[in-house]
A and B are shown apart, each in its own frame.
Chain A
Amino acid sequence: DIQMTQSPSSLSASVGDRVTITCRASQGIRSSLAWYQQKPGKAPKLLVYITSRLESGVPARFSGSGSGTDFTLTISSLQPEDFATYFCQQYYTTPLTFGGGTKVEIK
């Protein structure tokens, strides 16, 4: 199985900050990497797919990059509605696997 290691597990940031979350795959997954945002009590929401493509309606302050085994989600200027938990997911092969999550909290 492909293990997805996400870091940090949590971070505190202020509105307007630039935030970077990383995800490392235990083997190469090409560009088959997605990012999700989840707010408490809600289902995850797809933000980014194929490593760097924004899902329709996702603000341009979100961006994704990377390839192979190392990937990054960046929020260029954190907004109040961005405080949430973020998960990466590889869909290169089954079993599909997720990172452990990064909780973005208000500083």
Chain B
Amino acid sequence: QVQLVESGGGVAQPGRSLRLSCAASGITFSSYGMHWVRQAPGKGLEWVAVILYDGSNKYADSVKGRFTISRDNSKNTLYLQMNSLRGEDTAVYYCAKGTYGGSDSRFDGWGHGTLVTVSS
């Protein structure tokens, strides 16, 4: 049974940085594409980024150049480095597991989410 636990959310001023982490257990972490999906308060779901099993990555245009997704397979941990934060980045950020090592995937495991609030 996959378990994903996010941490690192909080309040940040516009222009500042935060790093989110997602600790995975119950899976062979290195075999799967891992994603970040966010949800602004009262809004729908927005895919943010994916890191494939081979370490390559893809991003939504809204975060490209500001966010960096990475993984440490030795620690079964996924990361999201968020720089140059904007108010529109305010959201609950979910770590989500893909069903294979590639990018074009549904999500069959989700963390509980961590709230990021960008405000001065």
A interacts with B: yes
> Which A residues have a C-beta under 8 Å from some C-beta of B?
1, 32, 34, 36, 42-46, 49, 55, 87, 89, 91-101
Contact residues in A for B107 (Cβ distance below 8 Å):
34, 36, 44, 46, 89
Given contacts A43-B94, A43-B111, A95-B60, are A49 and B106 in contact (CB under 8 A)?
yes
The stretch that binds A, out of B24-32, B39-47, B77-85, is: B39-47
B105 at the A interface (CB under 8 A): yes
Contact residues in B for A89 (Cβ distance below 8 Å):
45, 106-107
A44 touches B45 (CB 8 A): yes
B110 at the A interface (CB under 8 A): yes
Given contacts A45-B110, A89-B45, A96-B103, 10 further A-B contacts (CB under 8 A): A36-B45, A42-B112, A43-B110, A44-B94, A44-B107, A44-B110, A49-B106, A93-B104, A94-B103, A95-B47
Contact residues in A for B112 (Cβ distance below 8 Å):
42-43
What mask results when residues 97 to 118 of chain B are scored 1 for a CB within 8 Å of chain A, else 0? 0010001111110111100000
A101 touches B44 (CB 8 A): yes
CB<8 Å pairs between A and B, sample of 25: A1-B61, A36-B45, A36-B107, A44-B45, A44-B107, A49-B99, A87-B45, A89-B45, A89-B106, A89-B107, A91-B104, A92-B104, A94-B47, A94-B50, A95-B58, A95-B60, A95-B61, A96-B35, A96-B47, A96-B50, A98-B45, A98-B47, A99-B44, A100-B44, A101-B45
